[in-house]
Structure 1
Amino acid sequence: MTNDNTALRNKELAMRGFAEFTAGNIDALRTLLHDNFLEHSPGNPSGKDAFLEFIAQAPVAGATLELARVIADDEYVVMHYRMILPGETEPDQAVVDIWRMVDGKIVEHWDVMQPVPEPVQIPHGMF
């Protein structure tokens, strides 16, 4: 059962954090991440401090992120966006982040990424 107030609050928090992060303020995540943050993506560390240190050095920190949509349901917020790495000759990445939030803090994260195919391969678009 969806709690619209919780979903809306979590969506707003996630969108504000995304906007700050894309503007270069990685430290804005410090207020959003729970101390016992759990990361489910391979190679990414769990724990607030370890994750922040990791993400500050990751390619996403210097990328252009173009948000396409945000979906929120209860404690989950899903963000779908294009990641454009600076100076890369590789294709852009389509990214879906799934955040689980409790009491205004991100407690878990999953993501799925794939290269954006050539337009001829996806006539209806990726985003």
Structure 2
Amino acid sequence: MKSLIVAGLLAAAAVSSPAVAQEPVIAAQNADQLFTSPDAKLNANKQVVYRIMRDLLDAGQWDRASELLSDEYIQHNPNAKSGRDAVVYYFTQVLKVQPRPIPEKLNMKVVAVMAEGDLVTVLYPRTVKDASAPGGSYSTTWFDTWRIKDGKAVEHWDPALMNEAPDLR
């Protein structure tokens, strides 16, 4: 009977304890390779997303946004309004992103890239400060999904919360 009580207490403690990641999220060795596919349409869509990440997000070359984002770009991140001009404003005026040279290879760490139909999803490793452990942090995953039409992104999703702009570089 005593062992049942101890087992019950241990189970209760495990359920009430905060979740702890058991394994860190690890980036792929060569992120650029993840943006290819033997399927021509999926490859083209992955290449649009690759350029969004490299040219816009990594290099901050938002003057090139018209090459990669549609005018009516639908934004599901709660911090930026829909429309290409609104997204460019968010990155250049709100976040104050300054343009840098476009890198030869993507600098951002990427775990995986998945493409299906007109959607491309990119997974990134993310380190987050642990509010319950001062000075501590934990590993988790961020994602971005874009819908591609006629060679441009027309819609975007991510798990952002209000006033949150994670640094994924």
- Where does residue 82 of structure 2 map in the other structure? 46
Residues 49 and 67 (structure 1 numbering): CA distance in 2 closer, same or farther, change over 3 Å? same
- Where does residue 92 of structure 2 map in the other structure? 56
Q: Which runs of structure 2 are paired with 1:35-114 in the superposition (5 Å)?
A: 35-57=71-93, 59=95, 61=97, 65-82=108-125, 94-113=141-160
Q: Identity of counterpart residues, as a percentage?
A: 30
Instruction: Provide the rounded CA distance (Å) in 1 between the counterparts of 2:121 and 2:96.
Output: 17
- The answer to whether the aligner puts 1:10 opposite 2:57 as a matched pair is no
Instruction: Provide the rounded CA distance (Å) in 2 between the counterparts of 1:90 and 1:39.
Output: 32
Of residues 65-74 and 42-51 in structure 1, the stretch that sits farther from structure 2 once superposed is 65-74
Instruction: Provide the rounded CA distance (Å) in 1 between the counterparts of 2:67 and 2:126.
Output: 23
CA contact (8 A) 1:67 1:81 kept: yes
* Root-mean-square deviation over aligned CA pairs: 3.0
Structure 2: 5+ residue stretches without partners: 1-38, 99-106, 128-134, 162-169
Structure 1: 5+ residue stretches without partners: 115-127
TM-score w.r.t. the length of structure 1 is 0.67
> What is the CA-CA distance between 1:106 and the residue it aligns to?
0.7
> What is the CA-CA distance between 1:57 and the residue it aligns to?
4.1
Instruction: Provide the rounded CA distance (Å) in 2 between the counterparts of 1:104 and 1:97.
Output: 17
SS of the aligned residue for 2:89 comes to helix
CA contact (8 A) 2:68 2:152 kept: yes
CA contact (8 A) 2:74 2:154 kept: yes
What code does the residue aligned with 2:49 have?
A
> What is the CA-CA distance between 1:80 and the residue it aligns to?
1.2
What code does the residue aligned with 1:97 have?
D
What code does the residue aligned with 2:62 have?
I
Residues 48 and 41 (structure 1 numbering): CA distance in 2 closer, same or farther, change over 3 Å? same
SS of the aligned residue for 1:44 comes to coil
- The answer to whether the aligner puts 1:26 opposite 2:69 as a matched pair is no
> What is the CA-CA distance between 1:79 and the residue it aligns to?
0.9
Q: How many residues align?
A: 106
> What is the CA-CA distance between 1:35 and the residue it aligns to?
0.5
